[in-house]
Amino acid sequence: MARKQETEILDNSDDADEVVPVKYEITSYGADFLVDGLVRRLKDGSIFMPLFQRGFVWTYTQASRFIESLLLGLPVPGIFLSKEYETQKLLVIDGQQRLRTLQYFYEGIFPDSGKEFALSGVQPQFDSLTYKRLKDEDRRQLDNSILHATIVQQEKPPEDDSSIYYIFERLNTSGTPLSEQEIRACIYHGEFNNLLKDLNENEAWRSIYGRVNKRRKEQELILRFFALYFNSDNYKSPMKEFLNRYIASNRHLKLQSAGQLTQVFTNTIRVINDYLGNKAFRPRGALNAAVFDSVMVGVARRLEKGNICNREGFRERYQSLLKDEEYNEWTLSGTTDEARVRQRIQMATNAFRDLE
């Protein structure tokens, strides 16, 4: 039976204390965009907001007042864009509510409600007007209004866009900040990220984890499993940066294919769900991320040799592992320390290695 309540994840990492020892070479410059040009670029995709990003949260009045400010010629906050190295497209890092407002006003439909986007709570000369009903001079005023953009592009290191992750993280401070995985889904959007979303719907996984987490916490766990299963020999803390490097390196599924990733995840989680049920990875109630990553990797390595048929033996090995004092030390504190990650994965691998 799938869990209905929000799943609590225990992840006693020390990532917050880590300093990432990377120096970046970043190109940064300002650009002024005409509003009608921004809307056109949003429509053709040369400026884009990944689908994962939070929906439109501005109220009707907030959106209307933003349009009114442009119609009156008042200054408005700028936007922050990142130029992607491969595509040269511009990714919206900060300013999506403003850009969505423009896009919806030009289209004439307010999101979600499906109602006509007519200005409300503004000065009388603009009240109840849509883009098409604006006076010609007011429409030209809006079209020719300028939004200033700061555009950044990471030049070095060339293998990933990790600096953009940290820029996004530091700009993402108002309201409810995005989670680490939500930011990854933005910066490293692509085939791998789409696959994580699909695998997250796996029936056995949902039975173990519970209801879908809106902040993508369980997708981060799936990513963590893949990163440690395929690349644990190269693990270096902090875990956050390790996961960033891995998803960047396999963003387009060129290292491991969708079929390979799907097979190893579905086979492993199916066995664990069949033999342990929804108490898996929960030695003390909460889902322990360190128990999850080590047991998943250990079982996946054992499955490389074939199926596991000894249900009782599996349960006994799992329970013995959880009772091991040394294993508990590696899974309850400082869980992203390099030695602790390697030690617990090795212990879990040894626990299931010769199981029939």
Q: pLDDT tens, 46-81?
A: 999 876 556 688 999 999 999 999 999 999 999 999
| Report field, pTM of the whole predicted structure over 0.85 | no
Look up residue 144 and give its amino acid: N
Give yes or no for residue 33 having a pLDDT over 70.
yes
Question: Which one has a higher pLDDT value, 208 or 5?
Answer: 208
Do 205 and 241 form a contact (C-beta atoms < 8 A)?
no
Give yes or no for residue 19 having a pLDDT over 60.
no
Tell me which DSSP letter residue 30 carries: E
User: In angstroms, rounded to a whole number, what is the distance separating the alpha carbons of residues 264 and 116?
Assistant: 48
Question: Which one has a higher pLDDT value, 15 or 215?
Answer: 215
The predicted structure's pLDDT at residue 213:
86
The predicted structure's pLDDT at residue 174:
60
CA–CA–CA angle 339, 301, 179 (5° rounding): 60
Quote the mean pLDDT of the chain. 92
Question: Which one has a higher pLDDT value, 160 or 349?
Answer: 349
Residue pLDDT, tens place only, 168-185: 888 776 656 788 998 999
The predicted structure's pLDDT at residue 20:
54
- The predicted model gives 114-121 an average pLDDT of 95
The predicted structure's pLDDT at residue 303:
98
The predicted structure's pLDDT at residue 52:
53
pLDDT-above-90 percentage for the chain:
76
CA–CA–CA angle 21, 25, 30 (5° rounding): 130
- Measured between its terminal Cα atoms, the distance across the chain in Å is 27
The predicted structure's pLDDT at residue 72:
98
Residue pLDDT, tens place only, 90-108: 999 889 899 999 999 999 9
The predicted structure's pLDDT at residue 25:
86
Buried b (16+ CB within 10 A) or exposed e, 263-297: ebbebbbebbbebbebebbbbeeebbbbbbbbbbb
Residue pLDDT, tens place only, 227-274: 999 999 999 999 999 999 999 999 999 999 999 999 999 999 999 999
Question: Which one has a higher pLDDT value, 336 or 55?
Answer: 336
The predicted structure's pLDDT at residue 67:
98
pLDDT band at 8 (very low <50, low <70, confident <90, very high): confident
Give yes or no for residue 21 having a pLDDT over 90.
no
CA distances from 168 to 91, 163, 207 (A): 11, 9, 33
Q: What contacts 24+ positions apart, CB below 8 Å, involve 339-343?
A: 340/290, 341/228, 341/232, 341/235, 341/237, 341/239, 341/293, 342/232, 342/235
The predicted structure's pLDDT at residue 14:
63
Biggest CA–CA distance in the chain, Å, is: 79
Domain boundaries, given as residue ranges, for the chain: 9-18+178-352, 25-156
The predicted structure's pLDDT at residue 113:
83
The predicted structure's pLDDT at residue 351:
98
